[in-house]
Amino acid sequence: MFAIIIRIMLSVALQAGGQSIRMGENKALKPFLGRPLIQRVIQRLTPIADELLITTNQPESFSFLGLPLFPDLMPGRGPLGGLYTALVSAKYPVVAVVACDMPFVSAPLLVAAASFLVRDEADVVIAETAEGFEPLHAVYRRVTCIPAIEAAIQSDQWRMISWFPKVKIRKLAPDELHRYDPDGIAFSNVNTPGEFAEAERRASARSAPGTARG
């Protein structure tokens, strides 16, 4: 039985702050099927975004996108600082935060997660896979998450989930993940040239004539 999806105003924040050390070049700008990878991610998320913004410490590199760009409010704090910046900079009460290197980011999954957050009065709706939590493909409630993250940073904690005990976490169940991400690839990211090439191959096959998804 399908859950009822509650449509709410949603900010979508793309994190483009990684150093791309293993890629050897800025992976967000690396051509993916002929255009920068970040443009593919943006195209997949635009239909669900009432606001779309990018957190980056290289705003000059992303100005061509014509989107609001926000540098870290707490420089040097890594991904947790980027998450804090995304939530503080967003306009709407519920924020989907996504890494810019996820070619198969799932808009339906994020919409469902936002709906579950409201319905279940949660502060974070997130998947937990075999690799652990997926904080860069998750949905957050600004009013409760911002002070919790701020406190974690001030107490010199660095882990992306170090502040989770302070808020209400709602994990996505396996059947929910399968329903909205049936191929199980929404959380796939690309860190190396090999992973990038494999993702391109997969995306090209999925967009070929006769296939259902891109």
> What pLDDT is stored for residue 43 in this prediction?
97
Query: Could you give the CA distance from residue 161 to residue 54 in angstroms, rounded to a whole number?
Result: 21
> What pLDDT is stored for residue 25 in this prediction?
79
List, as one string, the DSSP characters of the chain: -PPPPPP--EEEEEE-----TTTTS-TTTSEETTEEHHHHHHHHHGGG-SEEEEE-S-HHHHGGG-S-EE--SSTT-HHHHHHHHHHHH-SSSEEEEEETT-TT--HHHHHHHHHHHHHTT-SEEE-EETTEE-TTEEEEEHHHHHHHHHHHHHTT---TTTTGGGS-EEEPPHHHHHHH-TTS-TT----SHHHHHHHHHHHHHHTSTT-S--
> What pLDDT is stored for residue 126 in this prediction?
98
pLDDT-flagged residues of the chain (< 50): 1, 210-212
> What pLDDT is stored for residue 212 in this prediction?
47
Domains in the chain and their CATH numbers? 10-206 (3.90.550.10)
Token digits for 57? 């410490």
Token digits for 170? 């709602």
pTM of the model: 0.92
> What pLDDT is stored for residue 214 in this prediction?
57
